[in-house]
Amino acid sequence: MTKLFKNTIVIGAGAAGMMAAAVAGQRGVSVLLIDHASKIGEKIRISGGGRCNFTNVNLNGGDGSKHFISQNPRFVRPALSHYTAQDFVQLLKNHRVKYHEKHKGQLFCDHSAQDVIDVLQAECATGGVEWRTGCAVKNIRALTGNDAARFELDTANAGVWQCQNLIIATGGLSIPVIGATGFGFEIAKQFGHTVTELSPALVPLVFGQWAEKGWTNLAGVALPVRVSTGAGKKATAFDEDLLISHKGLTGPAILQISNYWQTSEALRVDICPDVDLTDALTSGKLGARVQLDTALAQLAPHLSKRLLQHWFEQPAFAPHAKRKWADVPDKVLKELAASLNAWTLTPNGTEGYKKAEVTRGGVAVSELNNQTMESRLQAGLYFIGEVMDVTGWLGGYNFQWAWASGVAAGRAVG
């Protein structure tokens, strides 16, 4: 059987894989890009409501590690400093892609996420990258005693290929409907790598007896909150919007905190982060003639009527909702304030990989070179993007890691 050869083979035609292939190809390296799916870049296509939150201005140099979760978050520093958000923005400008900045430095395409895919395909074309889509890799073998090639790949429908460098850009387990698999983790283990514990991340959280407690009736209610989890030095908090769903809680606040939440830990949600309700309710009641529910609506005008009604249906507060504010005991007012400023509830779990935007955990970064993404265990083997134990915040951070780690590997093989 004829064995075909490319200097570098990239498995996975997502954000990181296309970037690595383009960079390597433009440095004069022969590159084959393989993906088992027939449609490339599907995660890019569906991200950001179809407009792709492709990076964040907070990654324009400096230490970006605080925006990432890993057994060693500092691992990301070299790659992110060598390829910044501004570098990717310049790439889009070169292709005349228009974009805009939204909440907290998030950058989105004006038109469509397809613009980003088109840019990456064009960059690959400039580098002479060869493609094989709808092509599964069945086996990978390390070669010894072969100066030209280190690896041999059996594919389902494109023959046997050999290469000097192999870049794994297969992503994680999130959103299996678009083709996510654990293939990259299997390859890592095959070559002796540690894969840290995997779990869904940037994912909605679910709660027991949600419907029985009446929360499903509030599905669709959104509001700004401060959500936190953990204690002491491990405490983490985000000020973002929360959305009540039929199954539990979602929205940016919950997706962010899900990266840090541990099973059996409680969440603390401050529904009125800008108001000290204990002080406002107790000090403001003197001589007040309005009803308590009216008073609370005035103190926290961002709370919807539906939410306030639900809150006052709780047994502890229902008898006082229509009482004059001035007549409600301070003890009740303090309990009401605490329930809103420090609503504490424990999730049963998450909505799983089906709804998760990314996968937490992956190939241990202690076994990779942080300058090149090359394996410390197998020469010529690289891991980039989501397959690694690097998980970014919501808001373009994971895409910037894909670009930066892809560029690092592409430059290394070139």
CATH number at residue 280: 2.40.30.10
For residue 176, CA distances in Å to 14, 100, 171, 179, 182 come to 14, 30, 11, 5, 10
- Same domain for 279 and 143, yes or no, is no
CA distance 251 to 243: 5
- Which has the closest alpha carbon to 120: 388, 385, 351, 338? 385
39-98 pLDDT, tens digit per residue, is: 999 999 999 999 999 999 999 988 999 999 999 999 999 999 999 999 999 999 999 999
Q: What is the pLDDT of residue 377?
A: 98
- Same domain for 78 and 212, yes or no, is no
- Same domain for 210 and 177, yes or no, is no
CA distance 357 to 405: 19
- Same domain for 169 and 27, yes or no, is yes
Domain of 165, in residue numbers: 3-197+356-413
* pLDDT of 324 over the 80 cut: yes
- Same domain for 287 and 378, yes or no, is no
Q: Are 177 and 354 in contact (CB under 8 A)?
A: yes
Helix axes 85-94, 397-413, angle to 10 degrees: 80
pTM: 0.96
SS3 category, 68: strand
- Same domain for 395 and 331, yes or no, is no
Q: Torsion angle of alpha carbons 400, 406, 411, 414, nearest 10°?
A: -160
Please report which confidence band the pLDDT of residue 288 belongs to, taking 50, 70 and 90 as the band edges: confident
- Same domain for 327 and 230, yes or no, is yes
For residue 344, CA distances in Å to 266, 271, 375 come to 7, 11, 43
Cα-Cα-Cα-Cα dihedral sign, residues 338, 340, 341, 345: positive
- Same domain for 193 and 216, yes or no, is no
Q: Which of 320, 350, 380 is the last residue of a domain?
A: 350
- Same domain for 386 and 265, yes or no, is no
Please report which confidence band the pLDDT of residue 287 belongs to, taking 50, 70 and 90 as the band edges: confident
- Same domain for 160 and 185, yes or no, is yes
- Same domain for 94 and 225, yes or no, is no
- Same domain for 9 and 143, yes or no, is yes
CATH number of the domain to which 408 belongs: 3.50.50.60
CA distance 159 to 136: 11
Q: Which of 319, 350, 381 is the last residue of a domain?
A: 350
Tally of domains in the chain: 2
CA distance 15 to 384: 10
Please report which confidence band the pLDDT of residue 351 belongs to, taking 50, 70 and 90 as the band edges: very high
